[in-house]
Structure 1
Amino acid sequence: MMNHQERVSHGTAGPAEERSCSWLKPWVFFISVLVIKTVFVTVCLVVFLHGSYGQYKILIQNATEWHCVLNISAGKEEVWACCPKGWRRFQEKCYYLSTDKMPWAESEQNCSGMGSHLVVINSDDEQEFLFNWAKEVPTKAYETKYYIGLTAYVNGQWQWVDQTPYKKAAMFWKPGEPNLLFAEKCAAIHVKGNRDSNTYSNWNNVLCFTNCYRICELTVKFV
């Protein structure tokens, strides 16, 4: 009797399984088609974007968003001059003023992570632009400091991060600075409130582990 019931039980299981499998097959087919279409559309978009916007590939290496303005060169050729969004352009450079503080080495590392370096100041115009911009930043502090790409912690000699010869570059030290060179081996733009009128002579050397703001610099991208 039990054998007969087992045979009946096994015999009735087959059709149920077949019905279940036949019910799933349309869904499997639908999902497979959807996956294939998704892959196809993705490949088409990649090919299209590569062909249409290849000239902008350099812009996405170090930043996610760029701000571009139409620039007419001396030869009257129209090109786009681009800086990362949130940076400010002056002549052919882009500049970033940080809103947080860190030591000099970490500041340079942070700039490098954005495809730039701590600013190297080469002219009176550049110094005045940066100093006036720094004064615009609202702050309640009596004084603020912005690291620049100048340091003497290697061999005790002042050196720019881009290897620009120190003695051939413009210098804007405050009167009496740099001093205490045995300890203070990193340079910063020094701003005393927003009323400081000392535009051309405001560099100060500080201890390199001092937490200061920073100014990053990179070359404008022309496309």
Structure 2
Amino acid sequence: KVWGCCPENWMVSNTSCYFITSEENNWTESEKKCTGMGAHLLVINIKEEQLFITQKLNRKSSYYMGLSEPKWIDQWQWVDQSPYKKNVTFWHPGESNNHKQHCVFISFLNGKWGWNAASCDMPQKSICEMMKIYL
């Protein structure tokens, strides 16, 4: 049999492990911290993943995820290079079109979880994701 597991203190889902940071950093530093743990900032590919993650978050905090818009490209990109699918997004109303805000975080606003575009140097908590380790 093949066993899938995650590092200690990480949350387990179908194929991924998640770690929610308690410290706040800018987006680049957040991604570096995730990379240092063998992970990357959170990439949301399906609705169920968004629901799983948001059930574990504190409504009073905001969390960087692995979606950004490098200034020279003018297009949203995931840190793991997976395709950005407009039909699998959870933007708060009016949030995805501010061209001065190039990084994305998840926050609880008006009674629901969603994505916000933000300045990349704003300190936030973050969510790291890695594939399960199979033994």
TM beyond 0.5: yes
Paired letter, 2:20:
L
- Structure 1 outlier segments of 4+, above 3 Å: none
Aligned residue number for residue 161 of structure 1:
79
> 1:108 is paired with a residue of what secondary structure?
helix
Q: Give the whole-Å Cα distance in 1 for the aligned partners of 2:2 and 2:78.
A: 31
- Greater radius of gyration (CA): 1
Q: Does 1:173 align with 2:91?
A: yes
Shift of 1:167: 3.3
The Cα shift of 1:154 comes to 4.0
CA distance in 2, matches of 1:164, 1:145: 23
Higher strand share: 2
Looking at structure 2, the residues matched to 191 and 144 of structure 1 have their Cα atoms a distance apart, in angstroms, of: 8
Quote the residue 1:206 is aligned against: 118
SS of equivalent residue, structure 2 residue 80: coil
Larger deviation, residues 169-178 vs 202-211 = 169-178
Structure with greater proportional helix content: 1
Identity of aligned residues (%): 40
Query: Which whole-Å deviations, capped at 9, do the CAs of 1:93-112 have from their partners, x for residues lacking one?
Result: 00000000000000001100
Aligned residues: 134
The 10-residue stretch of structure 1 (143-152 or 203-212) with the greater mean CA deviation from structure 2: 143-152
| C-alpha separation in 2, matches of 1:115 and 1:179 | 31
Q: 1: distance between equivalents of 2:61 and 2:119?
A: 14
Q: For residues 176-201 of structure 1, what are the alpha-carbon distances to aligned partners after superposition, in whole Å with 9 as ceiling and x for unaligned?
A: 112422x2110000125xxx7424xx
TM-score, normalised on structure 1? 0.56
